[in-house]
Amino acid sequence: MESGTENGKRLLAEELERRFSRRGALRARLRRAVQVLLWLGVVQTTALGKRAVDIAGAILLGVLSLPLMAPLWLWSNARGLGLDRRPRLGRWAVPYREWQLLLPDSRLGRLAAVLHLNAVPALWNVLRGDMSLVGPRSVAPGEVSMAEHLVRRRHNVRPGLVCLWWIRRRANIAYGTEAEADAEYVDTRTVKGDLAIVLRALPAMLYGEGIASASDEVTILGMRINNLTMEETLDRLMEWVDGDTPGQLCFLNADCMNIAFHNARYREIINAAALTVADGLGLKLAGKILRRDIRQNVNGTDMFPRLCAALDGRGGSVFLLGAKPGVADAVAGWIRERHPALRIAGTRNGYFTAEEEPGVVRQIAESGAQLLLVAFGAPRQDLWLAENMPRLGVRAAMGVGGLFDFYSGRVPRAPLWMREIGMEWVFRFIQEPRRMWRRYLVGNVVFLWRVLAQRLRGG
Ligand code: UDP
């Protein structure tokens, strides 16, 4: 039996609880309402902010470019070309007409096209609200299906004069699809981010494009390079993994080129490797100078996560050899966390004696690994692989330089924006100026000088 006072206390407690929970619910509802209002406000101010930046930017750029554009327009008119309006799809796939200046196919015309002066009249579209300064690329009607519009999430943003995909393609690091870059932009865009894209567009403009005219193999300073994209390279590697013929892949950057210039054995190995791919901005610039366009910057660090994903999909296995003690194990941890189906066949640091070497080779052969990554730095890793390949029993192997140091978290990698302007080497230089000054400050100049000399010789 409950006593009267206890009963009263219980009722009071229940009543208080009810009141508090009612008040709590009310408060929660109020809080949610405020949140929604704030959110709407933020979205609005971002949209308004972006529109204000677009209008101010379009007016400023329009005025600044007038002294250049007016004579260019007169010149184009005199050749019977002038202004043109091409049909495009804008926000919500609404059609609009985008202004452009038609340029004659002459030296001056091509130079103006490189500087994108033909696109300047589209500033009028920005003012009208058809376009933004930054946004996904504008597309022609019929170029992109409705489904694609949805995948790209471009339905509620205006197309831009400058886009993320455009920058990445020029910096040779557009590894994904344009739809992915569009969706990434739409999901993460901010006014500040837009400004950063505009700044990155300036150097990107000078890198040029020219993927269409690229041949499958190019020779630079006597080195044969397979001119492949990241995807194509991965496909070839998976062919080795699935097939009977093993292969060695060499990454070739400006520094490797300089080493190879004095090292005949290294040169031989690169030219004999099943695949040699162009790594970094130096090679891209060399390709430009020699009119042999490099399709993409195929470097180990960007390839690694894609390689793991491809191997993971087919239950593959990998051996990690190289770097300081513990580093390869940390990379194995990185792989296990993200690709549990990818078997780590083994790890071994890169500091062993000549006497220990046969043991290392045996360890790899017995591990049954399909893929072997060797991080000793160039050229040692490539020479070591070429020499030991027949005894290693792996299907695919490559020297990956400082890759383990990055993925173990030992050394931070340059942020994406720096890689997008082809300046990863500046980051590495700042990290280790004493070790890197010779490689980058002297090496890059020497390399480009040699390339220029080849061009002047007509090579
Ligand atoms: N390394 C090694 N054994 C050696 C010398 C170096 O395993 O005898 C490793 C070193 O720890 C580093 C990598 O090789 O992880 C070389 O990195 P570096 O940044 O020089 O390579 P890059 O990418 O510049 O060719």
DSSP 325-386: TTHHHHHHHHHHHH-TTSEEEEEE-S---TTTHHHHHHHHHHHT-SEEEEES-TTHHHHHHH
Q: Look at strands 343-348 and 371-375 and give their pairing.
A: unpaired
Residue 209 has pLDDT above 80, yes or no: no
Express as a percent the part of the chain with pLDDT over 90.
69
pLDDT of residue 1: 44
Q: Is the CB of 379 under 6 A from ligand 1?
A: no
CA 1–ligand 1 middle distance (angstroms): 81
pLDDT of residue 336: 97
Q: Is the CB of 351 under 6 A from ligand 1?
A: yes
From 35-44, 232-241, 252-261, 359-368, the region with the lowest mean pLDDT: 35-44
pLDDT of residue 213: 63
pLDDT mean across residues, the chain: 91
Please name which of 286, 172, 170, 310 lies closest in space to residue 225, comparing C-alpha atoms: 286
- What's the rounded mean pLDDT across residues 428-437? 93
CB-CB contact of 370 with 318 (8 Å): yes
DSSP 212-260: TT--SEEEETTEEEE---HHHHHHHHHHHHHSS--EEEEEE-HHHHHHH
Q: For 227-278, how does the pLDDT look when each residue is reduced to its tens digit (9 = 90+)?
A: 999 999 999 999 999 998 999 999 999 999 999 999 999 999 999 999 999 9
Ligand 1: nearest atom to the Cα of 256: 25
Angle (deg, nearest 10), helices 300-312 and 327-338: 50
Please tell me the distance from the alpha carbon of residue 304 to that of residue 398, in angstroms, as a whole number: 11
pLDDT of residue 2: 46
Q: For 389-427, how does the pLDDT look when each residue is reduced to its tens digit (9 = 90+)?
A: 999 999 999 999 999 999 999 999 999 999 998 899 999
- What's the rounded mean pLDDT across residues 109-125? 92
pLDDT of residue 38: 67
Shortest-distance Cα residue to atom 16 of ligand 1: 377
pLDDT of residue 297: 94
Spell out a b/e string for 185-213, using b for 16 or more CB atoms within 10 Å of the CB, else e: bbeebebeebeebbebbebbeebeebbee
Residue 33 has pLDDT above 70, yes or no: yes
By 3-state DSSP, what share of the chain in percent is helix, strand and coil, each rounded to 5?
60, 15, 30
Three-state DSSP at 88 gives strand
Q: Is the CB of 97 under 6 A from ligand 1?
A: no
User: What's the angle, vertex CA 412, arms to CA 406 and CA 416, rounded to 5?
Assistant: 95
Q: Is the CB of 404 under 6 A from ligand 1?
A: yes
CA 323–ligand 1 middle distance (angstroms): 6
CA 402–ligand 1 middle distance (angstroms): 5
- What residue spans define the domains of the chain? 46-207, 217-456
pTM metric for this prediction: 0.80
Please tell me the distance from the alpha carbon of residue 160 to that of residue 418, in angstroms, as a whole number: 22
CA 436–ligand 1 middle distance (angstroms): 13
Express as a percent the part of the chain with pLDDT over 70.
95
pLDDT tier at 24 (50, 70, 90 boundaries)? confident
Q: Hey, what are 442's tokens?
A: 């002297």
Please name which of 316, 282, 297 lies closest in space to residue 426, comparing C-alpha atoms: 282
User: What's the angle, vertex CA 378, arms to CA 377 and CA 379, rounded to 5?
Assistant: 130
